[in-house]
Structure 1
Amino acid sequence: MPMKASVVLKTLQDAFPEGQVSLQPLATDGDHYACTVISERFRGVPRVRQHQMVYDAFGGRIGTELHALAVKTAVPDATPDAS
């Protein structure tokens, strides 16, 4: 069963409570989302590791309950990356 947007958003907000999180659907199937996470925890962390930190919040549910998640990350006062 696809993961509801509200669950995706809460998972990210719980993982990054100090951060700003936004979520947009990429399709109407409830299985494809794009998120932006802005967090001070990303400062000095390579972009690949930042994205891993976001994916880690889902504890292996990406690819099963959540089919696809496009991720953009940034530190406060910076432009989110384009990946």
Structure 2
Amino acid sequence: MAILASEIEDLLRQAFPDAKITVEGDDGAHFAAEVIDESFRGKSRVQQQRAVNAAVKSQIDSGQLHALALTTRAPE
């Protein structure tokens, strides 16, 4: 039950509609995502990454998404 990078991007876009989002990975289970969003301003890195993980929680819980390396920040 593989997932595509575009599907992950769609899920993240629903949670962060104004963000700059890049998702890479092509093995169906391991991905890297960069999410740059104004909502991250003033939040710790842990808070930012928890917000992103919440957007894909059901895919992680189901095992459809095995690993998602994150880079998060507010725009400069």
* Structure 1 equivalent of residue 37 of structure 2: 39
Question: CA RMSD for the aligned pairs?
Answer: 1.2
Identity %: 40
Q: Which runs of 4+ in 1 moved over 6 A?
A: none
Unaligned runs of at least 5 residues, structure 2: none
Q: Flag structure 1 segments of 5+ consecutive residues without an equivalent.
A: 78-83
Richer in helix (by share): 2
Higher RCO (CA < 8 A, seq sep 6+): 2
Q: Conserved in 1, the CA contact under 8 Å of 2:6 and 2:23?
A: no
Name the TM-score, length of structure 1 as normaliser: 0.83
Report how many aligned residue pairs link the two structures: 75
Deviation digits for residues 28-76 of structure 1 (CA, Å, limit 9, x no counterpart): 4211100000000001111101000000001332151101000000101
Structure 2 match to 1:13: 13
Letter in 1 for 2:58: G
